[in-house]
Amino acid sequence: MRTKAWALTWSVMRLAVAALIAAAIIAQLSKSIGTAAELGRDVATTVANFFSFFTILSNAAAAVVLVWAAVWFFMKGRHAEAEPPALAMSLACVTTYMVITGIVYNLLLRSIELPQGSAPIPWSNETLHLIAPLFLLADLFFGPLRRALPWRAVWGIIVFPLAWCAYTLLRGPFVTNPVSGDPYWYPYPFLNPNGPGGWGSVAFWIVAISVTFLAVATLVVWWGRRVGQERELDHESGDELEAEWEEAREAQTD
């Protein structure tokens, strides 16, 4: 999995998955806009709400970063020892976000019945909540040229989820739900303080999900450090072996 052929194959797979994610987002957005217009709902609010889902934001970011990683490899990565630091950090971020997206949806949200007219497109839904998260998890373990990040990267990874939670809770009371007409809107029921359990339940889930983010981010950084450091050691060993051969050839010449 450290060969250039594997890196080329995986880069093509990254582009394919990025295209699939983009198609899934566009298809679901088109359906949401069409349904809103057909039922007389506020289209602008529908679009704003669509891009307020963590699932959509994390998938969109993942598609962009996967394309970035593939383009970098085709342009510069064939002769590189490791991906650039900014790309490594971005991959660590989207991997964490996508794994959490898959965990939260499949454990907490998959069985929740949605309001009439809000049902997602099945293939798009599975792409965004299952296929793409699984690919990003596989990318962590099998992606080429991974760079070792410092441990402080864990804190950088969780900045966006915390900012998204703050945005969601601040925005929610000022948005009229275009489906139900309620004077508030939250993308996920566990963040709705108007539901059972109120703010206590919301606080519990924020803490629980934050701990999960920290755990997954730590795993992502740990694995990247392990793979990156192993590759560096292999490279140093190769340089030492080449130096020894060079010394041996010079000794024979003398």
The predicted-structure confidence for 80-109, as pLDDT tens digits, reads as follows: 888 999 999 999 999 999 999 999 999 888
Count the residues in the chain. 254
pLDDT score of 239 more than 80: no
- Each residue's pLDDT tens digit, 175-220: 999 988 999 999 999 999 998 899 999 999 999 999 999 999 999 9
Q: Band the pLDDT of 120: cuts 50, 70, 90.
A: confident
pLDDT at 133: 97
What predicted TM-score, i.e. pTM, was given to this entire model?
Answer: 0.87
d(CA 119, CA 114): 6
Which two structure tokens, joined as six digits, stand for 211?
A: 């701990």
d(CA 177, CA 170): 15
d(CA 98, CA 185): 23
